[in-house]
Amino acid sequence: MKRFLMVVAVFFAATFVPMARTDAHGLGNQQLEQVEAGPYLVSVWTDPKNVTTQNNLHITISVQDHEKDFVLDADVQVKAVLVADSNITQLHTASHDNAIQKMFYEAKLRLNQTGQWHITIGIDSELGQGEASFDLRVAEASDSWTRWLWPALGVTTVLVILVFGMYRKTRSTPQGS
């Protein structure tokens, strides 16, 4: 029975880890809402809400034409420039494959310098070229307790079951045996 409970505990602990990462819908903080960028209307979301140097930044981009039809065959580039030092730049391609909702484009970045970053979204398709941008603050990686909440809950569950099982075993073992 204890072995079974252990397996169940480990299993539930395992479900806590992805729960910590899974966003409600894969969108996040809205940075741009239907902004005109040349022949396109662009919406952008960033995830997580508080960007730090330690976590990955997901940028989800919606590209529509002025008729509000989705443009699905564009080449979408994400350029990030540190405002304090324009020599520090990153360039990434956003694609449908990375996105959860497949008519959006998504890029994954790791901005490893704190401070203000200027993010530019460049779009190119047979409709023409367009550009939209926004600023994003990247904070120092913090040891926020919430980051560890779900994994900690998982580990605690396993430990409690283990200790309880060992305690029961000690009590049920006859003295002197």
Partner 1 sequence: MDATTEAFLRSWQLRWDVILVLLTLTSIYVTGWVRLRRRGAKIANVWRLVSYLSGMGFVALALLSGIGTFEALLFFIHMIQHIMMMMYAAPLIMLAAPMPIGMWGLPRPVRLRLAKFLNQKSPLRQLIVAITKPGIIWMFYTLNLWMWHDSEMYERATTHSTIHNIQHLLFFGTALAIWWHTTDAAPKFHKHRTYGKRMMFAAATYFQNLLLGIYITMSPELIYTYYATVPRMWGIEAHRDQTIGGLIMWLPGGMMYGYTILILISRMMDYSEKQAQIKAKQDRLKRQQAKGIAVS
DSSP per-residue codes, 60-75: EEEEEETT--B--S-E
Instruction: Give the DSSP H or E segment for 137.
Output: strand 128-138
Q: Is 30 near partner 1 (CB under 8 A)?
A: yes
As a whole number of angstroms, the longest Cα–Cα distance in the chain is 85
Site for partner 1 in 61-80 (CB under 8 A): 62, 64, 68-70, 72
Q: Which of 11, 148, 164, 167 binds partner 1 (CB under 8 A)?
A: 11
Whether the CB-CB separation of 96 and 72 falls below 8 Å is answered with yes
Closest CA to 46 of 87, 78, 89: 78
CB nearer to partner 1: give 35 or 88: 35
Whether the CB-CB separation of 31 and 46 falls below 8 Å is answered with yes
The CB-of-36 to partner 1 minimum distance in angstroms stands at 14
Number of residues that bind partner 1 (CB under 8 A): 31
What is the pattern of x (binds partner 1, CB under 8 A) and - over residues 41-60?
Answer: x-x-----------------
Q: Is 145 near partner 1 (CB under 8 A)?
A: no
Distance (Å, whole) CA 122 – CA 26: 21
The CB-of-95 to partner 1 minimum distance in angstroms stands at 13
CB nearer to partner 1: give 68 or 171: 68
- What phi and psi values does residue 21 have, to the nearest 5 degrees? -100, -30
Site for partner 1 in 80-99 (CB under 8 A): 96
Closest CA to 57 of 94, 103, 32: 94
- Residues near partner 1 (CB under 8 A) are 1, 4-5, 11, 14-16, 18-19, 22-27, 30, 33-34, 41, 43, 62, 64, 68-70, 72, 96, 100-103
